[in-house]
Chain A
Amino acid sequence: MEWFKRVKRGFATQVKKELPNGVWIKCDHCGEILYKKELDRNLNVCTKCDYHFRINSDGYISLLADKGTFKEFNSNIKSIDKLKFKDSKKYSDRLKDAMHKTGLSEAVRTGTCTTNKIPVVLTVMDFRFIGGSMGSVVGEKIARAADKSLETRVPLIIVSASGGARMQEAALSLMQMAKTSARLGMLEDAKVPYISILTHPTTGGVTASFSMLGDVILAEPGALIGFAGPRVIKQTIGQDLPDGFQRSEFLLEHGFVDAIIHRKDMKERIRQILTFFPIEDTATGK
């Protein structure tokens, strides 16, 4: 455990990459000053270097769902602080603040919609809500989204953006990894397709459960994807990490994602992929 003792600063949650409300925005990657409206038009991808700014759940829903088709379900499920967890702040306060700040009820939104006219169950994580961490509610909502796919025999799409399991729910969070994976196993058995989309960042218990279980796994360019955080690894092995370590391109090279897809192409690629599966057949229950 020596390697833990050396941990001093912990994980930064990189809130700095949130888009400020200014007119001009500096690209985190190439430093180019970008006109915000232009950036919005370009799906929050840098017009100069293709850096993918993080977008929230609204952004991803409007990217993938046909206009006006997204119908959210289970948004009434809310976290409770069963353990009365407190660090520098009470967990119950942290939840309240996150809800207030984001207007969301939790770090994941689940709903039905069509994408290119194909009906899907769309599940989108939101990093703004306590780092997109998975507690009981995130696990439960994802499990129920899988159930919905299974019942209606409609493909499941999950867009991941998460720092991992939520520490404030301790063992309860951990068990959500098993819960979600078990339910996805049912989808697999029933031959209902599941597409996993990994965005920046996807780490920890989320990567080590539902995110890595897609029939097809896609990633946005340059996303941090891994099990252990880079800081922990660096502290463990005591040396610098190679350039591009744990980025989408690294995972592609090592065989853990099927393809890296530019945000502007994501919807079309998903259409192409979905048409491979016998969806018409399954939708009628054959």
Chain B
Amino acid sequence: MATNYVLEFEKPIAEIEKKIAELREYSISEDIEIQNEVERLEAKAQKLRQETYSKLTRWQRVQLARHPERPYTLDYISRMIDDFVELHGDRSFRDDPAIVSGIGKLDKMPVAIIGHQKGRDTKEKLRRNFAMPNPEGYRKALRVMNLAAHYGRPIICLLDTPGAYPGIGAEERGQAEAIARNLREMSHLPVPIIIVVIGEGASGGALGIGVGDRILMMENTWYSVISPEGCAAILYRDAANAPQAAEAMRVTPNDLLEMGVIDKIIEEPPGAAHNDYDQAAAIIKKAIKEEIESLQDIPPKILIKNRIEKFGKMGFWSE
């Protein structure tokens, strides 16, 4: 799939892809020479893709995680969940479109699924508040999770946010309380919870729907206590030092696996998830299913105990 938005380091690949497309246009007649050239270029593109994506810097992964054509929560839901019904609102204040939540089937298994939702065009971006939730988003998420827990259904959370919204209303309505409550409640829900970072995992805004039994990250995503820009602004006194901050904070899936924060990295299709939505969705669906199946027979009490211990082990210290 050729995309319209090309990152700097993707340009050499995009150029070859363009050439291939041009050649194909001319090759309506079965010209052998052109066919050969196309094949040669395709092989070259494939090799370049492999090279490029296997040695991405941390900052390049951050950029891929924010790629404007990257699949978002609803793109995955439409491809992997049958009978999806979105459930709106926190039953208290309003519906927060920055978080999508609902129920559906993962193959035949009833599940609840919740995720941050970015917008694709300007209007949608504004409506979704760039996937920066307000407190009611977290409260809606918890309401749907409680519903799932009440009826013994597993929960899937897809993380993709630049952070919880820092606004006056958000503070007035208790952003901190909403996130804190979710952390406590999610740690005690008696059903399997699978977390997948599908894009950006910024701070408490991400973690607010990110406490679970298994934490997976797609290959080209990031997860940290603050965005690289935020970290750079504070510690390096300039947000322009974000690439440096991304390195220092070690924000990529490999880093987090090493730190013992996540359980598994989900490989993306060649050229990253935005190159093939269907394949990306198929891959994460398979990964989520495997994890749910591995947790299904664990008694709720043990599940909760293990979950609390899982987070209890995180961190490093000497004593």
Contact = CB atoms under 8 A, between A and B. Distances in A.
Interface residues of A, number: 76
Nearest to A85: B248
A135 interface: yes
Interface string A126-146: 000000000111011001000
A222 interface: no
Contacts of A188: 184
Contact of A185 (B187, B256, B316): B187
Contacts of A236: 165-167
Nearest to A179: B311
A232 B183 contact: no
A170 B260 CA distance: 13
Contact of A213 (B184, B203, B239, B311): B184
B166 A181 contact: no
Contacts of B207: 174-175, 177-178
A39 interface: no
B167 A237 contact: yes
Contacts of B180: 177, 181, 207-213
Interface stretch (A7-15, A42-50, A58-66, A263-271): A7-15
A123 interface: no
Contacts of B196: none
Contacts of A74: 319
Given A177-B207, A179-B314, A213-B181, A208 B225 contact: no
Given A170-B250, A178-B187, A10 B235 contact: yes
B75 interface: no
B176 A227 contact: yes
B183 A82 contact: no
Nearest to A236: B166
B259 A171 contact: yes
A182 B184 contact: yes
Nearest to A209: B180
Interface string B54-87: 0000000000001000000000000000000000
Contact of A172 (B162, B233, B261): B261
A191 to B, nearest CB: 14
B185 interface: yes
A241 B170 CA distance: 13
Interface in B136-182: 162, 164-168, 170-177, 179-181
B317 A246 contact: no
A138 to B, nearest CB: 9
A242 B235 contact: no
B111 interface: no
B318 A208 contact: no
Nearest to B211: A178
Contacts of B204: 165, 174, 177, 204-205, 208-209, 227
Contacts of B176: 207-208, 211-212, 225-227, 256
Given A184-B184, A188-B184, A212-B181, A85 B249 contact: yes
Nearest to B203: A174
7 contacts: A7-B239, A10-B235, A175-B207, A178-B187, A182-B307, A233-B166, A233-B171
Interface of A: 1, 3-11, 74, 76-80, 82-83, 85-88, 135-137, 139-140, 143, 165-167, 169-179, 181-186, 188-189, 204-205, 207-213, 225-229, 232-233, 236-237, 241-242, 245-246, 250, 254-256
